């Protein structure tokens, strides 16, 4: 059925419900039973559709109806009725390929800028005094004109928020966390906090308010570090206020912009230039949070310096998809546009990542003159956009294309210029820049309109001595680095050696800076401040050299590979190898690994390929070594060819070299795990017959106290030793021994059946087991013949002790509540599994006190289907009786572990639908096998699901 057949809501509802029923039939493998689906059935509780299943449903609907669903549909839609509303809206407009033009705003020139402003509030008031109705922000819309926010409206609504904060008794200098989407509420709240004398702290917003508790747990370190007094978020977050206050002694209010808006007379405060304007956090849930303190004076100095260099005027239009909780989007795009009265056209980062052509079409439609992105943004356009996406596109208005926030690839900037020249893009518009949050945002800029300057230097001299000698002859081995220009007026940079002495031009060293935009330090973090400051200079943590007064960044200090006294730069090797036939473009990483025997650093190349034939793989290894030898004069020490999704990447598409190095050094990339299995049977006494019930009461209580005491005796001590043991083999050996000793001491008889089915398996696999009790994990640690890695819920990382212990045994974590992050987590775990690690999933996700096998989530099986990994079903019987979910004291019992025959996915074509079918088939086969041996009923019975749906509807 196509779009033209489903214009009415009733028709859409029919298509939607039939699509859900078809998907449920596939998932449940019950062709004879027609699932009962209502518009108000919940996707998770009533229909049992987890995040991966919903992704599959939405993809099918988009294809079937020829529509494009908003990115937030995945997290916002709780029921088919919610999804129907979105479909009805999407079906009312054509697709994105025929986007119409918007009514371009004609804005008068502004002859002056707020030069006398000492703070951001002064700058806003200056504009409101001169032109309160002037458009300031236009929100991007796929079709037609988006909402327009004027300077006057921004000030008026911000004062209403400030008045509300004053009535909350916000004191000058109090920190207020902003966890909002890139909509009007964000802008009103940011300036509302400033007007009230507070310090805004922008943080990444929760995908939806129902996930706020878990989201805040991940940012608890930031919230504690900044000593947040209030949090401004969406309306749905209000019920969670009491939960948040338990964790934060300083937190008094969790509120919304709408709730804060108050009427009355606002009492303006006097702000000074040295007052803190906001805190920019450079790290979140991992490590010690680093909140960069930026004053109004820092920001205005940076904005003025960048604006003068780029010759920004009120006629400019800045098109941005950059997040508003990071410096490039917040300062460079928004606050810079506000100061110069340039129109800001803003879209969600999700909108760009999902469909990169939206960015370029927004520049076309709105006449964008300024825009910015990290290098990966330009690379994403090169990789993802086809000619069909670009028909009719005109980028002729784009005069400055800033490229910063990560290393600039000479190859990317050259190819972007060539690729989009037919669409009006001028190569001289591309401007590689260098900056960092510790200097507000921008530090060095090349001359306006010059284009990209690539410095070509002799490879041997640079790698061995750090000397950037120009390759004038052009006939030797060379390296290329993009110039990022000279410092902004009033700022200085220098390159220093190991003893902090300044180096001459064209000598590589650590890059340091100082100037009016520089931070005064990190908020409540003296240890990080010691590393940041070197007298009056601040350390960037980057390597660079200066040539003709311009900075040429060469890489992060921690990423450089030192081999035989030479510095090797991984990004160059990665680009060269990515261009080889058979290698997945962009899925290559190079890193150094220390040889423990010799103490030297070895060069390791990890690359993804879909080739499987041994002869083809051997040819590809030779091609890689030829490419490496051509670049650095010597081959790599080890070339690891791995299947797709093995190379670890960040959410923004950058290679995670340090994480890849760690996995390699643990032997978990490209290495098959050796067969190691133990057949151990502990013959212990069984349960006393239930016929002696009276006597058993006292006996069971004493047994429970005894068993619990043993756990308290062995558990913490074992965990502590595991944390400090240096080798993973020793940790597992200790844990297995302790589990078996506890089984013996508690008279728990554990039997393992089917171990022989693993004897012929040489490759890694995915283990899946039913989940009946907290004891399941311990039993599997003690008695599964092979070592594996658990997959655990992300909430466990919030506890420092649990996180440390689980990390020491290589546990993988999966986000349960944020669907988009959950999918990313499963892809990450799948790539690690294909790289050599065996993961164990509990696909039920949880367990109940009552016996019964719950529905299986599909994540483990999608991972297995994509990677062609075998699934080993494991049925655990008896643990629920020993320790039920609501019990405190354990009972006597026996445990049986049945290891099923490995289930291998069939060969598949690689398309999305095929992966989905294979995943469903694997799930059905594994669940059927587990159901045979777990000794518990099947709770995923169609009549039970219908009953639950009816009960839910009555509620």
Mean pLDDT along residues 568-579: 76
Whether 17 shows a pLDDT value over 80: the answer reads: yes
CA 277 – CA 199 distance, rounded (Å):
6
pLDDT of residue 573: 80
pLDDT band at 206 (very low <50, low <70, confident <90, very high): low
Residue 211: pLDDT band (50, 70, 90) is low
pLDDT band at 95 (very low <50, low <70, confident <90, very high): very low
* pLDDT score for 265: 75
Cα 167 to chain centroid, rounded: 37
Give residue-wise pLDDT tens across range 47-72.
777 666 777 787 788 778 877 777 66
Q: Is the pLDDT of residue 899 over 80?
A: yes
What torsion, rounded to 10 degrees, do the Cα atoms 440, 441, 444, 447 define?
Answer: -130
More confident residue, 18 or 596: 18
Beta strand 478-482 with 454-458 is antiparallel
pLDDT attached to residue 217? 66
What region, left, alpha or beta, does residue 449 occupy, with left being phi > 0 and alpha being psi -120 to 50 degrees? left
pLDDT band at 108 (very low <50, low <70, confident <90, very high): confident
Q: Residue 279's pLDDT is what?
A: 95
Hey, which of 608-612, 687-691, 839-843 has the most confident mean pLDDT? 839-843
Sheet holding 583-594, edge to edge: 583-594, 601-609, 638-642
| Average pLDDT of the residues in 531-540 | 92
Q: Which of 345-359, 429-443, 623-637 has the highest mean pLDDT?
A: 429-443
pLDDT at 109: 76
Q: Which residues, listed in sequence order, are joined to residue 67 by a DSSP beta bridge?
A: none
Q: How confident is the model at residue 442 (pLDDT cuts 50, 70, 90)?
A: very high
When comparing pLDDT for 156 and 915, which is higher?
Answer: 156
| Pick from 97-106, 390-399, 661-670: least confident | 97-106
Provide mean pLDDT across the span 781-805.
81
If we measure between CA atoms, which residue out of 324, 293, 559 comes closest to residue 437?
A: 293
Nearest to 496 by CA among 455, 569, 546, 532: 546
Q: Which residue, among 299, 283, 223, 275, has the nearest Cα to 254 in the 3D structure?
A: 223
212 — pLDDT class (breaks 50, 70, 90) = low
Q: For 810-815, what is the mean pLDDT?
A: 82
Strands (E), 705-788: 749-753, 765-769
Q: Which residue has the higher pLDDT, 682 or 821?
A: 821
Decide: 232 and 257 in contact? Cβ < 8 Å: yes
Q: Model confidence at 218, in pLDDT bands (50, 70, 90)?
A: low
Q: How far is CA 479 from CA 470, 486, 552, 573, in A?
A: 10, 21, 12, 10
Compute the average pLDDT of residues 336-344. 96
Radius of gyration over every alpha carbon of the chain, rounded to an integer in angstroms: 30
DSSP calls for 198-228: -EEEE-PPPSSGGGHHHHHHHTHHHHHHHTE
- The answer to whether residues 772 and 850 touch, using CB atoms and an 8 Å cutoff, is no
Cα 403 from Cα 371, distance rounded (Å): 9
In three-state form (DSSP H/G/I as H, E/B as E, the rest C), the secondary structure along 427-486 is HHHEEECECCHHHCCCCEECCCCCCCCEEEEEHHHHHHHCECCECCCCCCCEEEEECCCE
| 660 pLDDT more than 60 | yes
Q: Closest Cα to residue 520, out of 709, 197, 275? A: 275
Secondary structure of residue 801 in the 3-state scheme:
helix
Q: Which helix (H) or strand (E) holds 10?
A: helix 9-28
- Which phi and psi angles does 442 have, rounded to 5°? -105, 140
Q: What is the pLDDT of residue 2?
A: 39
Residue 949 pLDDT: 33
Q: Go through the chain and tell me how many residues it has.
A: 955
């Amino acid at each position: 059925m196509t779009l033209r057949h489903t214009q009415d809501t009733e028709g859409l509802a029919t298509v939607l419900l039939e699509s859900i029923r078809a998907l449920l039939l596939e998932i449940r493998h019950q062709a004879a039973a027609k699932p009962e689906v209502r518009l108000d059935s919940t996707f998770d509780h009533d229909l049992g559709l987890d995040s991966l299943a919903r992704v599959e449903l939405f993809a099918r609907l988009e294809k079937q109806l020829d529509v494009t669903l908003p990115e937030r549909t995945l997290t916002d839609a709780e029921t088919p009725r919610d999804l129907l509303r979105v479909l009805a809206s999407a079906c009312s407009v054509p697709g994105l390929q025929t986007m119409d033009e918007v009514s371009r705003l004609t804005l008068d020139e502004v002859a002056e800028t707020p030069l006398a402003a000492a703070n951001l509030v002064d700058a806003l008031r200056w504009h409101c005094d001169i032109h309160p109705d002037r458009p300031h922000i236009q929100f991007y819309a796929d079709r037609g004109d988006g909402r327009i926010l004027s300077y006057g409206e921004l000030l008026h609504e911000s004062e209403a928020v400030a008045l509300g904060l004053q009535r909350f008794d916000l004191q000058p200098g109090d920190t207020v966390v902003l966890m909002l989407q890139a909509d009007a509420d964000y802008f009103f709240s940011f300036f509302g906090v400033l007007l009230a004398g507070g310090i805004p702290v922008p943080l990444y917003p929760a995908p939806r308010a129902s996930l706020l508790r878990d989201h805040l747990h991940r940012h608890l370190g930031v919230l504690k570090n900044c000593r947040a007094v209030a949090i401004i978020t969406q309306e749905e977050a209000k019920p969670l206020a009491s939960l948040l206050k338990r964790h934060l002694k300083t937190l008094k209010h969790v509120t919304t912009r709408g709730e804060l808006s108050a009427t009355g007379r606002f009492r303006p405060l006097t702000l000074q230039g040295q007052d803190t304007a906001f805190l920019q956090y450079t790290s979140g849930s991992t490590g010690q949070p680093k909140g960069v303190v930026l004053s109004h004076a820092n920001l205005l100095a940076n904005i003025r310096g960048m604006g003068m260099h780029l010759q920004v005027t009120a006629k400019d239009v800045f098109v941005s998809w950059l997040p508003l909780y990071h410096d490039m989007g917040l300062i460079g795009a928004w606050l810079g546009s506000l100061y110069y009265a340039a129109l800001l056209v803003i879209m969600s980062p999700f909108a760009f990542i999902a469909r990169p052509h939206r960015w370029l079409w927004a520049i076309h439609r709105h006449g964008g003159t300024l825009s910015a992105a990290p290098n990966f943004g330009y690379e994403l356009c090169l990789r993802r956009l086809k000619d069909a996406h670009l028909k009719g596109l005109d980028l002729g208005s784009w005069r400055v294309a800033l490229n910063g926030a990560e290393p600039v690839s000479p190859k990317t900037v050259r190819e972007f210029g060539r690729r989009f020249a037919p669409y009006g893009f001028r190569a001289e518009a591309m401007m590689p820049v260098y900056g960092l949050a510790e200097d507000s945002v921008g530090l060095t800029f090349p001359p306006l309109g010059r284009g990209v300057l690539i410095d070509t230097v002799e490879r041997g001299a640079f790698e061995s001595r750090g000397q950037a000698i120009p390759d004038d002859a052009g006939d030797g081995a060379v390296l290329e680095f993009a110039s990022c220009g000279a410092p902004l007026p009033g700022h200085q940079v220098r390159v220093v050696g190991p003893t902090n002495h300044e180096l001459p031009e064209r000598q590589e060293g650590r890059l340091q800076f100082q100037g009016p935009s520089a931070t005064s330090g990190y908020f409540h973090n003296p240890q990080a401040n010691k590393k940041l400051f070197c007298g009056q200079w601040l350390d960037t943590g980057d390597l660079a050299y200066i040539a003709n007064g311009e900075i040429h960044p060469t890489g992060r200090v921690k990423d450089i590979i030192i081999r035989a006294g030479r510095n090797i730069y991984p990004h160059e090797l990665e680009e060269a190898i990515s261009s080889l036939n058979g290698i997945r473009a962009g899925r290559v990483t190079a890193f150094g690994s220390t040889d423990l025997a010799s103490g030297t650093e070895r060069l390791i190349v990890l690359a993804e390929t879909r080739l499987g034939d041994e002869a083809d793989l051997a040819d590809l290894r030779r091609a890689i070594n030829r490419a490496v030898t051509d670049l650095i004069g010597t081959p790599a020490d080890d070339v690891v060819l791995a299947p797709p999704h093995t190379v670890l990447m960040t959410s923004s598409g950058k290679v995670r070299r340090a994480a890849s190095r760690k996995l390699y050094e643990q032997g978990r990339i490209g290495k098959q795990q050796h067969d190691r299995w133990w057949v151990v049977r502990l013959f212990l006494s069984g349960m006393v017959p239930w016929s002696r019930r009276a006597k058993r009461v006292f006996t069971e209580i004493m047994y429970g106290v005894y068993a619990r005491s043993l756990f308290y005796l062995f558990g913490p001590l074992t965990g502590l030793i595991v944390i400090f043991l240096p080798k993973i083999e020793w940790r597992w050996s200790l844990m297995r021994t302790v589990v078996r000793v506890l089984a013996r001491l508690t008279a728990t008889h554990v039997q393992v059946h089917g171990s022989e089915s693993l004897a012929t398996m040489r490759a890694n696999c995915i283990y899946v087991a039913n989940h009946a009790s907290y004891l399941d994990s311990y039993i599997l640690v003690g008695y599964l013949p092979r070592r594996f890695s658990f997959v655990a819920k992300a909430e466990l990382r919030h506890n420092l002790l649990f996180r440390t212990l689980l990390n020491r045994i290589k546990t993988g974590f999966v986000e349960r509540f944020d669907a988009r992050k959950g999918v990313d987590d499963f892809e990450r775990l799948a790539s690690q599994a294909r790289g050599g690690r065996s993961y164990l999933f509990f696909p039920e996700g949880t367990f109940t006190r009552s016996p019964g096998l719950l529905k299986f989530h599909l994540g483990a099986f999608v991972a297995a289907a994509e990677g062609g990994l075998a699934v080993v079903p494991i049925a655990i019987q008896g643990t629920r009786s020993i320790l039920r979910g609501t019990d405190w004291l354990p009972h006597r019992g026996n445990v049986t572990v049945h290891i099923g025959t490995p289930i291998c996915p069939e060969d598949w074509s690689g398309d999305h639908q095929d992966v989905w079918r294979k995943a469903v088939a694997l799930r059905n086969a594994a669940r059927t096998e587990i159901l045979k041996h777990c000794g518990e009923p099947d709770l995923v019975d169609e009549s039970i699901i219908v009953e639950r749906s009816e009960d839910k509807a009555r509620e």
